[in-house]
Structure 1
């Protein structure tokens, strides 16, 4: 989901010419239930980028100076110990985009550079901070503040957790009049830690691959891990075409699950395919060797069961 050397800036930077150039360059490179817990100190994420080789080897020469960097959360001012990607850029006199001269994913990197003016950029997942500094002959130690936290998502049916393999999340930044205004991250797995700028996000949770979907808005605080659980009202049903109640299922049956209004929700082929459906009323149609059979059925949250169609 995260690419190694490019990212999306999800929080607007102050509108200055230098920062606009940096952004342009680097970008090219309600709910049935919701449980939320805040955990101070955003922990490292499984999506931490692999180490990046520096573009400028830190070998000191006469006339160079040391630039040492670190970052902190803007909310609680605690140091950020992992998950950072640093880039140091130089401004050009002809107005062309800044050029990356050094980079690192260490928490507190040091660079040996010629004295001059540099643009510092610290990326923390989808959040970032930028600063313009002047490096003198005596060297410089600087710290950037990043307004970011982390989000960890899960799902449940009642008090029963849903297996992570059956869940999929999408994260959006709401826009005025549109809760799903801009997609930030898709195919997010349960328990995965996503680093985000501080703010409110719209979460879409999909249980299975049919219509069991829940939505909620979640607030991410700077310097904290937000743990949110979305509560689904759904169940898993096993579809069968049988000669009589409790009989052996016919192989190669084509099933269609429809709403009472006739909209197709899911199609499957097999002796007993399993389908996860949202709570509600459905019509099941089974086709076998040119014959068509049907029945109505109801899905109740948390009640997994067999749905039999009698072939008669």
Structure 2
């Protein structure tokens, strides 16, 4: 079944400016926490070992002819492949996208930007969002957005002065202050981002992607260092989610019952962490009938109770399907003012129908039976 992509929406910046409390330090802190658009990439059955290999194209240099987007009156875009005069930079390693920079207009410098996952890792080949802000606020207190680009290695034409460059990749981002003088140069940013690809199974049998989802939290469940809000919600099995490098714990939800488990994992810069969470659960379909194998009755309300009488799951569907963790339960069916119940057990991986018969058992004491306990 095709993967459905659920990107987390990017934070929307005010037109051409951003406001931050606390001066420049506050601006840098704000930019460092701005999320980008979540990169979720369906991968092939054989997952890649690195993020670069899993991206739509692989390479260590920017493709020719790409163009950045400049805000009105701001920096110029990347002009790779153009006929403008170019300047070679001394000491730039072979294969760097900015070995030669275009000649800037008078009074400006060409600043070539690129990013790596680590000092020894290849350049990030795609998926970057660049924003350049002036480091001095306007009279209103807002910091103007000077330029932005989505190229992997843009070139900005900037006037002398101070700037804050913010680059995001998936949900990872970095902000850096730069000072621009009269000379062109290149700037390279380390953006520690990695990916996680999640799967789930029961007794080594993969759970279909449409029946399982994953919420990703910062911290460690095992060490008690957990965040109360998901860093990313609703990832699908097999999707590649790009995250800041670090420690996370994943909550895997199988179906619509109580089949929920947690696991810790670590995301390394430039790497793909492939993890499979092992559920011990089963899929049960419920039906109320007047006799064994008889036609299912309609207008039934269901409750699944724990041995202590706590409600695990409820449904107004006459024939619901619940994914339940292995253990002991009681099924309670209410129909036409009468209540019927049946004790049952769930064994991991044993998917089966559960039939409750009219008059099979009296309702348990924890269930309201004011209208009758069944035939």
Query: What's the TM-score once normalised by structure 1's chain length?
Result: 0.84
Equivalent pair of 1:76/1:223 in contact (CA under 8 Å): no
Deviation at 1:25, TM superposition (A): 5.3
1:70 to 114, 119, 124: 114
Aligned-residue CA RMSD (Å): 2.7
Partners of 2:116 and 2:25 in 1: CA distance: 20
Deviation at 1:271, TM superposition (A): 3.6
Residue 125 (structure 1) aligns with: 170
Deviation at 1:191, TM superposition (A): 2.0
Residue 41 (structure 1) aligns with: 51
Structure-2 change in CA distance of 1:152 and 1:86 (3 Å): same
Structure 1 residues without counterparts, runs of 5 or longer: 8-15, 30-36, 46-50
Residue 13 (structure 1) aligns with: none
Deviation at 1:284, TM superposition (A): 0.4
Deviation at 1:94, TM superposition (A): 7.4
SS of equivalent residue, structure 1 residue 270: coil
1:185 to 232, 235, 249: 232
Residue 333 (structure 2) aligns with: 286
Equivalent pair of 2:31/2:174 in contact (CA under 8 Å): no
Deviation at 1:195, TM superposition (A): 1.5
Residue 9 (structure 2) aligns with: 3
Equivalent pair of 1:115/1:134 in contact (CA under 8 Å): yes
Equivalent pair of 2:32/2:166 in contact (CA under 8 Å): no
Residue 197 (structure 1) aligns with: 244
Residue 58 (structure 1) aligns with: 76
Residue 21 (structure 1) aligns with: 27
Residue 11 (structure 1) aligns with: none
Aligned 1:83-162 pairs, distance under 5 A = 83-92=127-136, 96=141, 98-162=143-207
Moved more, 19-28 or 292-301: 19-28
Structure-2 change in CA distance of 1:266 and 1:93 (3 Å): closer
Deviation at 1:162, TM superposition (A): 1.0
Bigger radius of gyration among the two: 2
Is 2:302 the counterpart of 1:255?
yes
Structure-2 change in CA distance of 1:195 and 1:248 (3 Å): same
Query: What's the TM-score once normalised by structure 2's chain length?
Result: 0.71
Equivalent pair of 2:69/2:150 in contact (CA under 8 Å): no
Deviation at 1:62, TM superposition (A): 2.5
Deviation at 1:249, TM superposition (A): 0.8
| Larger strand proportion of the pair | 1
SS of equivalent residue, structure 2 residue 173: strand
1:295 to 334, 342, 348: 342
Is 2:280 the counterpart of 1:212?
no
Partners of 2:119 and 2:34 in 1: CA distance: 29
Structure 2 residues without counterparts, runs of 5 or longer: 1-6, 14-21, 36-46, 57-66, 78-103, 360-375
Q: Which has the higher contact order (CA 8 A, sep 6+)?
A: 1
User: How many residues were matched structurally?
Assistant: 292
Deviation at 1:281, TM superposition (A): 0.8
